[in-house]
Amino acid sequence: MKIELASKYGFCYGVKRAIKIAEEHKNSFTYGPLIHNKDEIARLKDNFNIGLVEELEDIENDNAVVIRTHGIPKDELAQLKKQENKIIDATCPYVTTPQNIVSKMSKEGYSIVIFGDKSHPEIKGVVSYAQNPKDAFVVLEENELKELPLKSKVAVVSQTTKKPEDFLKIVNELILTKREVRVFNTICNATFENQDAAAELAQRADIMIIIGGKHSSNTKMLHSIAQNYCPDSYLIENEQELQADWFKNKNLCGISAGASTPDWIVQNVIDKIQKFS
């Protein structure tokens, strides 16, 4: 059986940057998981003593705090500053962009529409930058827009990991109904480059392995795309989840990985698959 990696996969710029920042600040804490990959978080803990704090009230005044790649709500950042914590900001610049846009456009009197998952930490942070949270609305589908009390002026941003074609559906619906629509493409290029590469490979493979955190939005999207073309597509976090019977009578195994998946996990998966073939 042949094993082929997607032409684009794995760590994006923002994740590489966050890992480097964390490694440069030993004996610190991240507020929330730095990235959506528990194995990489464990590596940072074991090798650099980077702890993990889930609740704001558990952070003491003298703690050095690394802000996760997804960012945090504006009021929580203000609280950390008030406590005089040492703040090490590892927020991905592609996430900082929609935060700044939401802040600016809401001050100019626009309703804010954010295409994304309201439970995702990135979106929770972006929403908090609206001058009035009641003017910021998070949607996943265009039919949700009809129920919203939007002003005649609307600014639109997207979660960085969403599909461009789905973002366009939201934009098109707003253009048909609102007097003025300002559209900001805040989708990360690395996201859809990985998606396009996974789609291309899945069309040729008879089994696809997608590697990444089960809570990672971009990894779940890669899995969904792969399944569209290759029904035998599996989402795993590491090599321990692989099952030998998946690979029986398969000729080409395609592999892709989410933006929070380090190369060492990808290699471990490849090594184990090779033992099955």
What would the pLDDT profile of 237-265 be if each residue is shown by its tens digit? 999 999 999 999 999 999 999 999 999 99
Domain at 2-9+189-276: CATH code: 3.40.1010.20
35, 15 contact by CB (below 8 A): yes
Beta strands in the chain (DSSP E): 2-5, 29-31, 51-53, 64-67, 86-89, 111-115, 136-139, 153-158, 180-183, 207-211, 233-236, 252-257
How far are the Cα atoms of 15, 24, 50, 262 from residue 46, in angstroms, in the given order?
Answer: 19, 14, 8, 16
Query: How far apart are alpha carbons 101 and 107 in whole angstroms?
Result: 10
Tell me the whole-structure pTM to 2 decimals: 0.84
**Which class in CATH covers the domain with range 94-183?**
alpha beta
Task: Please tell me the predicted confidence (pLDDT) of residue 209.
Answer: 98
Instruction: Report which residue type is found at 81.
Output: K
Q: Among residues 40, 76, 122, 237, which one is catalytic?
A: 122
Q: Does domain 13-92 have CATH number 3.40.50.11270?
A: yes
Residue 277, pLDDT above cutoff 80: no
How far are the Cα atoms of 1, 18, 25, 79 from residue 11, in angstroms, in the given order?
Answer: 26, 11, 20, 31
Task: Please tell me the predicted confidence (pLDDT) of residue 208.
Answer: 98
Query: How far apart are alpha carbons 178 and 100 in whole angstroms?
Result: 23
Q: 191 falls in which pLDDT band (50, 70, 90)?
A: confident
Average pLDDT over residues 216-237: 94
Task: Please tell me the predicted confidence (pLDDT) of residue 61.
Answer: 82
- Which regions of the chain carry the CATH code 3.40.1010.20? 2-9+189-276, 94-183
Token pair 């396009």 is found at: 196
Task: Please tell me the predicted confidence (pLDDT) of residue 250.
Answer: 96
Query: In the predicted model, what is the mean pLDDT of the chain?
Result: 94
Task: Please tell me the predicted confidence (pLDDT) of residue 3.
Answer: 98
- Which regions of the chain carry the CATH code 3.40.50.11270? 13-92
Task: Please tell me the predicted confidence (pLDDT) of residue 276.
Answer: 87
Residue 102, pLDDT above cutoff 90: yes
Task: Please tell me the predicted confidence (pLDDT) of residue 117.
Answer: 94
122 catalytic per annotation: yes
